Chains A and B, each alone.
Chain A
Amino acid sequence: MTDEVQAVHPVLVVVGHVNRGKSSIVSTLAADDSVVVDDTPGTTRVARRFPMLVNGKVLYELVDTPGFERARKVLHWLEEHASQTADRPAIVARFVKEHEASGQFEQEVRLLKPVINGGAVLYIVDVSVPVDERFESEMEILRWTGRPRMALMNRIGDADHSTRWRALLGQYFLIVREFNAYGVDFKACVDLLRSMRELDDAWRPVFDSAILALEQQRQDNLRASALLIAQAVGEMATATEEIRLTGTESVDEPTRQRLWQTFSNNLRASERRLRKKLMGVYGHRVLKLSDADLGVELNDDLFSEGTWGRLGLSRGKLAAGGATAGAITGGMLDASVGGASFFMGALAGLMVGGLAGYAGWGQMAKTQVVGQSLGGLSLQVGPITKPQFYWIVLDRALLHHRIVSTWVHGRRGPPPAVGADGKVGVVDGLSKDHRASIARALRNMSVDRFTGERELAEVLQSLMQNDELGRRG
């Protein structure tokens, strides 16, 4: 895959000015966030190659170039040496050959060499800045190469000069597309690959394969994420923490608090680990989502009342749930005595259930003294018995997954805040069937963790696929 040998696979040479979304597009298409981080304007001096390898075979290759340095002079040289229009590609090749050894026009040689060796041009412009003559020189040079060319109109700033740009680009490029490098999603990337098929008929099967491979990878990532989330929930559902008790000491409140603190910290660590893993699945290795980027639903503490409330499980709701359950139980007692109790059973059940629900807010797990197999006693906390906890964990994990899976590699800045569409949690919008399946898997998890985990993974995968399809329309 050197410049010397004409590539047998499609090569897309990405040309554009720095800070105009070029690296973001390369980063997004290559799923490599290091491009954006390493991108210090004016300091990139090498053309980086991004081969898309599927099972070891290169399907296509992106070449990220540092851009033109002396476009006006190059064009001047070309115009001086060309006599006929048909000779232009040959003149560009001659330019590269003559200046390759001399070191003059180093950047232009690096940029043009893969193009004259059979590459296509992907020219990126920012339509929020006005057109100037420098761009025209660059476009003219690219036209001289005679290779397939595609222009992507990216809009970074607030101003919009797209009309003028479109008119200009249309004169130089076969295909002109709008592509918001900082706001694209997976579908937009696939659409971009689809349009690249138009550059050269011979490349169609290759890009079709690339699209298929990307779709497959997307499915693989969903499966991996579902398994990771299920695994984390399983880990939490069976987590315990204990400390050995010496002698006949009585268990005081500070000891219980300390044990709960350690236990809850371990659960928080499990959630953090899951988030890191999910980032890894989608290849976000260099750019990290800070807690602040995640929005309040995910940034808040796992055990905070606020988190539970925002995700639909406020103290009031728990009390209401308890009251309803109590009233139903009491009502059954009333029914069994033919109403002779004047519905006192339902009333008492309502009050007791409501109070229990309200008071039980903070009681996540039982703390108890247990005997050890080799003698002695220990104080043990966990696992968490409140089923709502696992729904909260799941909701936060699914929200996080939604962010990570849609946060393309070229994106700069925080992802769109969750809940922006008015729906805070994912669980809230689940179908009845999905809810029942998840509840069943969670129940099974307490009996047989591994079986429960695998059941949950299946449901989550189906959920994520639906979520993805929903978002992709």
Chain B
Amino acid sequence: MRDQMPYASVPLTLGEMIDLQAVLERDADEDEQDLIKRDGDVGRRVNAAKLDDVSAVRAWLAEVGPPEATAYGSHLERWGSTLSWLLRVGAFAAGLLTVAGWLEVQGRQPINVINFWSALIGTQLVFLILLAASVLRWRWVIRRGMTVPGRASRALPWFARAIESLWVRVAKPDHNNGLPAATWSKVQRLYGELFGWVALKSTQALAVAYNVGATLGLVVWATISDPSFGWRSTLLDETTVHRWAQRIALPWSWSGWAGAPSPEVVAQTRYSSLEARFVEAGALGPEAELWAAWWPFLLLSLLVYGLVPRLGTYAWTWWRCKLALRGAPWRSAAADQLLHRMRRSSLSTVAEARPEPLAVDTPLPHALADEASVSQKPVAVMKWSGVPDMPPSVMETMIRFTLGRSIWGHVEIVGGRDLNADEAAVRKASAAQGEPDVAVMVQGWEPPVGDHVDFFEQLRRGLKAGRRIDVLVCGLSASDAVVAPTDAQMRLWRRRLEALGDPWLRVYPVRVEGLP
């Protein structure tokens, strides 16, 4: 089971959630059947039924997620991470170089401890207090939404676009349409807070790196050089400085290793910028150890007030990130829909191949279009089996209405089960005196089939060229009476019989106006 769930305990990352949101937005206009097929196929490939939700979504993103050119979430994550690491290295270097530079270029006077402590540690304490105040969510302290994560969350679209622009410059993709502003806005609403915590975590990592660099600088320069520390002030006296040093050293003075400098050290390391002895070379010789006595105090201050709190805030933001990540809302109805598509059983009933589209509106051939019959001679009538029976007088009237001619002889029945009856009817028409034309009444409500085609060919062979065959297409009423056929029925019959290529064959709708 574990093998099938390689990422089960790892929640979706911010980048994956953004990509998921982007693809779900893209899919919003896709045909649902296409999505069911696509995601069903992916689901079966990755065995989604046995994966937990996060793993299934992750596997799906890997299969059909956005292409590299549009994987904005992944870009944001990758480039953001790279940028964060670069900044950490920069912060480490900045801490190291700040301390090293300060110690290296101290000049001919000792380093003023008050300046050094204030710049390196005091400012950090101020920032820490500001950070603590900014993350408080109590309305009476600070307005909701104005916290650092809250503020930072608003920068997500801006930051994402900056990353996207950077990526376009570096990777030069073939196409990069960018996410619509509405999608970014949605992403910001959904994941803005998480982004805020990620950004805050990055700043704390940066601060840790800075303090590590500064601490390392202090240790290294104290090892390879001999920086001297003293203090000078117009307003502060030895007692005050010692008292403050004692207060600052409270957190570690219990250890007994290095508390605050003694009152004597404080008094003896006071100097003035006007004291001539610093100007004279070698003046510090006999008191060198005294001037170095401030170093442990400064190192421990840096550790206790710089590095340790930042490690704490880093751990806290890391934990908040983790919480925010776990609580990040990716389980929308759309995501549930995706998981459902991946896991639903596949059932297909459609045809494997669709036929070529048919030209259904072929214009009627001119030769078979309606035209008035010019001959007045009687016509031999055949009735296809299935055309309702009717009294001779009705039949006579119908033929007269339709063709303007009378009926020659008896009406023959063709198209029945007995093929010999067709043959007999054709023979009879062929041998008829006066060579009358032939009218065949057919069922318009049934489509013409091969049997009809064969019969008309047989009839033509019997009648020889020149004698007309008028096909009278009949419709059927609800009471089973013959009525005029519909246009669709006429079209169907004409199209099929046109294929015979018989120049003396016409197709007419039967006319029943005025019939009783």
Chain A interface (Cβ < 8 Å from any Cβ of B) = 1, 17-19, 29-32, 34-35, 38, 40-44, 46, 48-56, 64, 67-73, 75-76, 107, 128-130, 132-134, 136-137, 157-159, 213-214, 216-217, 220, 223-224, 227-228, 230-231, 234, 238, 273, 276-281, 283, 285, 373-374, 448-451, 453-454, 456-457
- Give the complex CA separation of A17 and B349 in angstroms: 22
User: Which of B352, B360, B451 touches A69 (beta carbons < 8 Å)?
Assistant: B451
Asked whether, in the complex, the Cβ of A50 is within 8 Å of the Cβ of B351, the reply is yes
B350-372, CB under 8 A of A: which get 1 and which 0?
11111101101000000000000
Asked whether, in the complex, the Cβ of B31 is within 8 Å of the Cβ of A285, the reply is yes
Asked whether, in the complex, the Cβ of A281 is within 8 Å of the Cβ of B478, the reply is no
- Give the complex CA separation of A373 and B478 in angstroms: 73
Answer whether residue B450 sits at the interface, using C-beta atoms and an 8 A cutoff.
yes
Chain B residue total in the interface (Cβ 8 A): 61
- What's the least CB distance linking B254 to chain A, in Å? 48
- Give the complex CA separation of A67 and B450 in angstroms: 11
User: Which of A133, A217, A273 touches B385 (beta carbons < 8 Å)?
Assistant: A133
Asked whether, in the complex, the Cβ of A137 is within 8 Å of the Cβ of B347, the reply is no
- Give the complex CA separation of A68 and B448 in angstroms: 11
- Give the complex CA separation of A81 and B227 in angstroms: 121
Asked whether, in the complex, the Cβ of B451 is within 8 Å of the Cβ of A40, the reply is no
Inter-chain CB contacts under 8 Å: number: 192
Interface 9-residue window, one of B76-84, B292-300, B328-336, B429-437: B328-336
Contacts of A129 in B (CB 8 A): 445-446, 476
- Give the complex CA separation of A17 and B492 in angstroms: 14
Answer whether residue B101 sits at the interface, using C-beta atoms and an 8 A cutoff.
no
User: Which of B330, B333, B451 touches A231 (beta carbons < 8 Å)?
Assistant: B333
Asked whether, in the complex, the Cβ of B478 is within 8 Å of the Cβ of A159, the reply is yes
User: Which residues, 475 to 490 on B, are CB-close (under 8 Å) to A?
Assistant: 476-480
Once A17-B446, A53-B346 are accepted as A-B contacts, the answer to whether A42 and B492 lie under 8 Å apart by CB is: yes
- Give the complex CA separation of A77 and B222 in angstroms: 115
Asked whether, in the complex, the Cβ of A76 is within 8 Å of the Cβ of B350, the reply is no
User: Which of A32, A73, A128 touches B349 (beta carbons < 8 Å)?
Assistant: A32
User: Which residues, 318 to 354 on B, are CB-close (under 8 Å) to A?
Assistant: 329-334, 336-337, 340-341, 344-354
Q: List 6 A-B contacts (CB under 8 A).
A: A49-B352, A50-B352, A69-B449, A130-B388, A283-B33, A450-B333
**Besides A133-B415, A227-B340, A373-B154, 17 other A-B contacts (C-beta < 8 A):** A17-B446, A34-B351, A50-B352, A69-B451, A70-B454, A133-B385, A159-B476, A159-B480, A220-B344, A220-B345, A224-B340, A227-B333, A231-B332, A231-B334, A277-B32, A448-B329, A449-B329
- Give the complex CA separation of A224 and B341 in angstroms: 8
- What's the least CB distance linking B55 to chain A, in Å? 19
Answer whether residue B386 sits at the interface, using C-beta atoms and an 8 A cutoff.
yes
Asked whether, in the complex, the Cβ of A55 is within 8 Å of the Cβ of B346, the reply is yes
- Give the complex CA separation of A329 and B91 in angstroms: 63
Asked whether, in the complex, the Cβ of B33 is within 8 Å of the Cβ of A280, the reply is yes
- What's the least CB distance linking A246 to chain B, in Å? 18
Contacts of B388 in A (CB 8 A): 130
Asked whether, in the complex, the Cβ of B417 is within 8 Å of the Cβ of A133, the reply is yes
User: Which residues, 1 to 32 on B, are CB-close (under 8 Å) to A?
Assistant: 28-29, 31-32
